[in-house]
Amino acid sequence: MEIKNVVVAGGGVLGSQIAFQAAYCGFNVTIWLRSESSISRTRPKLDKVRDSYLQAVELMASDPAPANWCAGIADAGRFDKDDCLRKVEAAYNGIRLELDMAKAVADADVVIESVAESVPEKIAFYKTLAPLLYAKTLLLTNSSTLLPSQFADVTGRPDKYLSLHFANAIWKNNTAEVMPQPKTSRESFDETMAFANQIRMVALPVMKEKSGYLLNSMLVPFLLSGLDLYANGISDPASIDTAWTRGTGAPRGPFQIFDVVGIQTAYNIISQYRKVPGLFAPLLKKMMLPYNFKAMEAILKKMLDEGKLGKSSGEGFYKY
């Protein structure tokens, strides 16, 4: 199936980015929103995303170092600043916002669900959507922690339903994890992989359902391992980071990553380990039990109370 018309449901942090990226790549894009007040929250988000693309293009033009490169915007070696700027403006002006769900999804080739991470809200959304969709429409979820098999039947099209999971700052962190559930057809999986590539994502197959997909399945235990060393008084953040960076050649250690991600998000992840145990599988039994979650939580809570939110506030584990 040739995909032309893309609908993103939800215009939040990620929905606005996914819509912008698809529009930037030349697709007809509609964002479905549930109320007038959602429109007034989504417009400024799109303004912000547009600014981020414009700043990225300027930076790539002035200093095309790998650290500045945004592969969601252009390939290295084939960069045409004017063409990129034209595409950013065309994306910004082309995205349609629609409150009427039936109108939004009429003739949609693909609907990408990016509404709040809540089971009842997602179920309610899929139930309303199911009778309105054309038979051809592929239905994708951007959920970070919920498995698609949980919703497959309520979508009314389990064979055409799977996860397409994006990363924040999609224009730079341009991976898309493609994860089918047991009832997804091979054809839908292949179409989703192809579509992800068409919107300049690096499509990564996740062949079995797994909370945390690929990246977070590795990153979260890594970050927790570093924090656990500190929480148990084994060593200090700078030494733990150096052990990792000098020892492996990786650019950042766990505490440098915590500061970039933000202490609030770190705290949320620590709090989430109880809710999403699958995030840590298969490490849970062997490695996670000795983790001193209480001490980790206390360290992060104290930092939050002191306003040390990470790089964004000028101080986290390090001062900036």
Ligand X SMILES: NC(=O)c1ccc[n+]([C@@H]2O[C@H](COP(=O)([O-])OP(=O)(O)OC[C@H]3O[C@@H](n4cnc5c(N)ncnc54)[C@H](O)[C@@H]3O)[C@@H](O)[C@H]2O)c1
Contacting residue, 21, 30, 38, 174, with ligand X by CB under 6 A? 38
Strands (E), 197-310: 202-205
Query: 229 to 288, contacts with ligand X by CB under 6 A?
Result: none
CA distance 245 to 226: 12
Q: Which is nearer to ligand X, 175 or 291 (CB)?
A: 175
| Contact residue for ligand X among 3, 115, 140, 231 (CB under 6 A) | 115
Q: How far is the CB of 280 from ligand X (least distance, A)?
A: 17
Is residue 46 within the footprint of ligand X (CB under 6 A)? no
When asked if residue 221 is in the footprint of ligand X (CB under 6 A), the reply is: no
Residues 6+ apart with CB under 8 A from 103: none
Is there binding between residue 117 and ligand X (CB under 6 A)?
yes
Closest to ligand X by CB, 14 vs 240, is 14
Q: Please report, for residues 179, 187, 208, 237, the alpha-carbon distance to residue 205 in angstroms, rounded to integers and kept in the order given.
A: 6, 14, 9, 34
The angle at the Cα of 37, spanning 35 to 39, to the nearest 5 degrees, equals 80
CB of 155 to ligand X, least distance (A): 15
Separation of CA 145 from chain center: 11
Long-range contacts for 35-39 (Cβ within 8 Å, ≥24 apart)? 35/99, 36/99, 38/11, 39/11, 39/97, 39/99
Show the tokens assigned to 278. Answer: 């699958």
With CB under 6 A as the contact rule, the residue among 21, 114, 137, 181 that binds ligand X is: 114
Q: Which stretch binds ligand X (CB under 6 A): 61-69, 138-146, 152-160, 237-245?
A: 138-146
CB of 167 to ligand X, least distance (A): 6
Contacting range for ligand X; rule: CB under 6 A; set: 140-148, 232-240, 248-256, 306-314: 140-148
Give 87 or 165: the residue with its C-beta nearer to ligand X: 165
Q: Which is nearer to ligand X, 12 or 94 (CB)?
A: 12
> Does residue 213 touch ligand X according to CB under 6 A?
no
310 lies in the binding site for ligand X (CB under 6 A): no
Dist CA 315 CA 309 (whole Å) = 7
Alpha carbons 50 and 62: distance in angstroms, whole number? 19
3-state helix, strand, coil in the chain (%, to 5): 50, 10, 35
Q: Does 21 bind ligand X (CB under 6 A)?
A: no
By CB under 6 A, the residues from 72 to 91 that bind ligand X are none
Query: 144: number of CA atoms within 13 Å, CB side?
Result: 16
Our finding on whether 144 is near ligand X (CB under 6 A) is yes
DSSP, collapsed to helix, strand or coil, labels residue 20 as helix
**H/E stretch holding 120:** helix 119-129
- Does residue 166 belong to the site contacting ligand X (CB under 6 A)? yes
Q: Could you tell me which stretch among 136-144, 191-199, 222-230, 240-248 binds ligand X (CB under 6 A)?
A: 136-144
3-state secondary structure of 141: strand
* Residues binding ligand X: number (CB under 6 A): 21
Cβ contacts of 128 within 8 Å, gap of 6 or more: 101
The site for ligand X (CB under 6 A) is made up of 10-15, 34, 38, 114-117, 121, 124-125, 142-144, 165-166, 168
